[in-house]
Amino acid sequence: MATTTIPTAAPTSTITPSPPTTTLPKTYPHQIPIAIIGGTGLSALPSPPFTPLAILPPPPTPWGTPSSPITVLSYTPPSPSSTTPITIAFLARHGPQHNLTPSEIPSRANVAALKKLGVRVAIGFSAVGSLREEVKPRDFVVAGGVVDWTKGLRGACSFFGDGVVGHVGMGEPFDRKLSGVMYDALSSPADREKKQVVLQGEGVKVHDKGVVICIEGPQFSTRSESQLYRSFPLDPPINCVNMSAVPECKLFREAEIAYALLCMSTDYDSWRGEGEEGVSVEMVMGHMVANGENAKRAVGAILEALGREMEMETEASKGVVGERLRGTNRGAVMGLGSGGDAKAVEAVERLTWLFGKEWVDGKV
């Protein structure tokens, strides 16, 4: 039986950055429909197989500057079924050198900058602690639900406020269609029969419809907290913990961008009782290093599936990558008239920047 070894060192990144990008263009003239948000251990996508086309300095937005430059990359799926290159935007959530704590991430600027590039579909990657025995370190979990356990310390967590009020439904913070495509791409019946051709490693699994609890951080949870999260009587139960699902997922929902979160389990948090080692950064990074190849393979497989979706989509089909969410939140806004109020005027300007004049005028 094959065995896997866990590196003992605690390297700081899992995926080797692409070759020097200083000579790449700083602008990109086309719309980019798909974004990947990299988290802990995934601060760049390697070349090959991802080819950098441009590196956009963090663009200013009405909500500040994003966490990192946005790298525009092209990916050509290896499968004979599709050879059309797919262009994506990549953003490193914690900054290129992982300098931002979860509470410091400028999530509104990140989402707004991606929206401005034409992004309609975004996939976040996140290192998570497992709160269930069956979610082993190195397993992947497609998020289906989230519990916000942050403490209100994060900067404003909505695009609405400061002059314009909007209440966007959050019943489904993760896009079901996109999450389904992602789960199938990583765990198709054929792959399951072949025992995981997408994700490698003895017994590595992909779990669907996971529920993540997002804590404030930067400290990990105490043992008592970890046990409390496990005891919440939810159905399905909370099965993993991170520090960055919120407000990212909620802001993408507000921005009418389909969003899915792929969680990569790196530890058993601290619930397992005295005598068991609680989570540490060494533990997280050790598993993320081992996960590096799987993270890269996961991005490739998901893009390949999205590429197939795009080839089949028509204007009318409301496909996964299409404009199907555009206008869906317009009715959530309580009123976009300024009535001469300076604060409201500014708020309307910001929303016009984000959604466009037609949206603000109610024409979409």
Ligand X SMILES: Nc1ncnc2[nH]cnc12
Kindly list the residues in this chain that would bind ligand LNRAV4D5 in the complex (CB under 6 A): 39-40, 93-94, 102, 126-127, 217, 242-244, 281, 284
Q: 40 among the known binding-site residues? A: yes
- Residue 124, C-beta contacts closer than 8 angstroms, at least 6 positions apart: 36, 37, 39, 93, 244, 245, 248, 249, 259, 260, 261, 262
User: Is 94 annotated to bind ligand?
Assistant: yes
Q: Is 37 in the site for ligand X (CB under 6 A)?
A: no
Q: Is 267 annotated as a binding residue?
A: yes
| Residue 223 counted as an annotated binding residue | no
Q: How far apart are CA 119 and CA 113, in angstroms?
A: 9
281 binds, options ligand LNRAV4D5, ligand X, none, Cβ within 5 to 8 A by partner type:
ligand LNRAV4D5
Question: What, of ligand X, ligand LNRAV4D5, none, does residue 39 touch, CB below 5 to 8 Å by kind?
Answer: ligand LNRAV4D5
Indicate the residue among 45 and 320 with the shorter CB distance to ligand LNRAV4D5.
45
Rounded to 5°, the CA angle 220-222-228 comes to 115
User: What would the two tokens of residue 34 be?
Assistant: 């798909």
Token representation of residue 343: 């604060």
241 touches, from ligand X, ligand LNRAV4D5, none (C-beta below 5 to 8 Å by class)? ligand X
Using alpha carbons, list the distances in angstroms from residue 75 to 57, 62, 85, 292, 360.
21, 31, 5, 17, 35
For residue 187, the partner it binds in ligand LNRAV4D5, ligand X, none, with Cβ less than 5 to 8 A by kind, is none
Residues between 206 and 225 with contacts to ligand X, criterion CB under 6 A: 215, 220
The footprint of ligand X on this chain (CB under 6 A) covers a number of residues equal to: 13
Nearest-Å Rg of the Cα atoms of the chain is: 20
Q: Toward ligand LNRAV4D5, which CB reaches closer, 181 or 288?
A: 288
The H or E element that residue 29 is part of is none
Answer whether 125's CB lies under 8 Å from 42's CB.
yes
**244 near 93, Cβ under 8 Å?**
yes
Which token pair is 136?
Answer: 């082993």
Q: Does 289 bind ligand X (CB under 6 A)?
A: no
Contact between 127 and ligand X by CB under 6 A: the answer reads yes
CB distance 175 to 269 below 8 Å: no
Longest CA–CA span in the chain (Å) reads 72
- Comparing every residue's Cβ against ligand X, the nearest one is 129
Indicate the residue among 12 and 81 with the shorter CB distance to ligand LNRAV4D5. Answer: 12
For ligand X, what does the binding mask look like between residues 130 and 169, x meaning CB under 6 A? ----------------------------------------
Please state the closest distance from residue 213 (CB atom) to ligand X, in A.
Answer: 9
Binding residues for phosphate: 40, 93-94, 126-127, 244
Binding residues for substrate: 243, 267-269
